[in-house]
Structures are given as structure tokens and as C-alpha cells.
Structure 1
Amino acid sequence: MELKEFLEVSILLGYYGNLLSEKQRTYMEEHFEEDLSLSEIAKSHGISRQAVYDNIKRGIKILKSYEEKIGFLKREKEIRDGLKELKANYSESKLDNLIASFDI
């Protein structure tokens, strides 16, 4: 897994982690937040490395599915990009447009 994807999954875990099963959330937190290897997680839970791998893969798929449907990360990126643009080229109309984009 590339660093960019690793970071994205970590962020998605923060947004949607509570929607996973307790087991999936635990394994994913130990792997992505505590930086434990699959073998270390397997040993501490008394299961196979393959079981940990399968749960994490399934968890990643679920997190990405939630992001496709809900889009918190996408929205955060849009807001961050808008703020960067506003900082670089401030104008009152750009500020108004950015504020208007928050309206639902």
C-alpha cells in the first residue's frame, strides 16, 4: 500500500471507523494508528495473520464505500482547496462564494 493510500485510509478510519464492526475497527486502528504489523495483531488476538489481513481489506473496502456515499473527505478537500485559493488571492467575492458553498 502506498503512503498516500495509507494516509487516506487512516483519515477515513477517523471519519467512519465507528461504523465498522468492533473487530474490524480494532484491527484497523492497531494497524493504521498504532503501526502494528499484521503478525503482531494476529498474535495479540490469537488469530491467523490471514484473518487479520482479510478483516483489514474488508474494512478498507467498507470505508471507501462510505466515502463514496457520504463524501466527508471529498468535502474536506474542497474546503481546504477553497481556503488555500482564498488565502492566495483574497477578494470579498471569493470569500462570499466560499461561504455560500457551505450552505446546504
Structure 2
Amino acid sequence: MLERTEAAILLDYYGKLLTKRQREVMSAYYEDDLSLAEIAENLGISRPGVHDLLRRALTQLRCLEEQLGLAARDRRRREVIDRLKALTVKLADTDLPTEARSYLQELTAELAKLEQI
């Protein structure tokens, strides 16, 4: 996964577990796309200080993901939902008995609910 994308995803999942300062710096860099110099100026700290904060925060986020695996689990869940949706589309194109078609419609509705969770 690209570092920028990975960091943004991990920040969404575990950002609340960072310090306020780490969260500010991560958000400014990865979400607001500010440079290290801009962040340093905004926060009144040095550019190397911003770099160090980013590095430590990203390391902490990666450790949390390694231990908890929430982002990976959610990604796998979405992949399964996508595969099931594709199968329901294929089944809908076949000649199914009325009862089976009814079950297929229920399954499709439940998958749609899962996507919104």
C-alpha cells in the first residue's frame, strides 16, 4: 500500500489513539497535504521536529494495525461483499425457481445493508 494512502486509512481507524499533537501533524500532512515547512510554521516547531512527529506517529499507527488488524479486516470484509454481490448478479441472470429468486433478493438486500455499516 502506498505510504500516503496507508497513513490516511490508519489515521481514520486509530487516529484517536494518537496524542493531539501527533493527530494534528498527521492530519495536516496526509489529509490537508501541507508540507513539513508549512506544518512547522503553523505549529511553531522545527521542520525536523515535524518529520520526527510524523515518523513516530506512523510507526505507532502501524503497530496498532499489526496488533488489532481493524483496517485489514474491514478491507477483507469489503472484498467478500463485492464477490458476493458479483455472484448475486450472475445468479440473477439465470433461470431460478421463484423461491430461490426470493432468497436471492433477500441476500442482495442484506449485502446492501452490510455495505453501509
Q: TM-score per shorter chain, which class?
A: 0.7 to 0.9
TM, length-normalised to structure 1: 0.81
Gaps of 5+ in 1: 100-104
Cα distance, 1:45 vs structure 2: 1.2
Q: TM-score scaled by structure 2?
A: 0.73
* Map of 2:4 onto structure 1: 6
What letter corresponds to residue 7 of structure 2 in structure 1? V
Q: RMSD between aligned alpha carbons? A: 2.2
Percent identity of equivalent pairs: 41
The equivalent residue for 1:32 is 30
Aligned residues: 94
List per-residue Cα deviations over 1:9-66 (Å, max 9, x = no partner).
Answer: 1011011011011111111111111111000000111111000000000000000000
Q: Which amino acid aligns with 1:27?
A: V
Distance in 2, Cα, partners of 1:28 & 1:5: 12
Which protein has the larger Cα radius of gyration, Structure 1 or Structure 2? Answer: 2
